[in-house]
Amino acid sequence: MRKTLLGLLGTAALLLGLAAPALAFEPVNVVHTEKVQAGPYDLTVGFSTWPIKAMQSLDFTFAPEGGVADKKGTLTMLHGEKLVDDEPLARHPRKREVWGLDVRSLPEQGTWTFKFDLDGPAGPATGELKNLQVMDQPGPPMGLSWAISTIPLFGLIAFIVIAWRRTRTP
């Protein structure tokens, strides 16, 4: 009985100890903002990393003046003239008072445009954040990164093969 109780207490302590860091969400740290005028609506676009680099995860926030409660909108992301994404604006999961994209990356370098279609008490409106420059991807090329990251896997396979051959009975 004593061992069972200690086991249950240890399990509960371990469960709560591991869950505590998951509950501590890191706040969104906006380091750069741009202003967008969409008809009668002023919209502040925030970035958690600046300058933006391709394939680098960051948070985007979209804060209309007066809050998001009585407004809805759509974000269209264009790379040059090519449509990349078109989605409704939703509240940021870690900064609930604004719209946003959580841990998102832009896949290609170059010039991007964010187009906002907003609808609120003053009626529908459209605004654009043009000429958003995205720099080249940081670090080594993606293929080289993947090649280097598979080296431990090949080492593990070699280790298993060698161990299997040595422990085999003739």
Per-10-residue mean pLDDT of the chain, 170 residues long, equals 78 70 68 95 95 92 92 95 94 92 92 96 95 90 89 95 86
Q: Output the pLDDT for position 21.
A: 55
Residue 122's pLDDT is: 92
Task: Specify whether the CB–CB gap between 92 and 140 falls below 8 A.
Answer: no
Please tell me the predicted confidence (pLDDT) of residue 170. Answer: 67
Residue-level pLDDT at 1: 80
Identify the pLDDT of residue 154.
Answer: 94
Structure tokens given for 42: 């002023």
pLDDT at 142: 82
Cis ω before 40 (30° cut-off from 0):
no
Q: pTM here?
A: 0.72
User: Using CA atoms, how far apart are residues 105 and 58, in angstroms rounded to an integer?
Assistant: 6
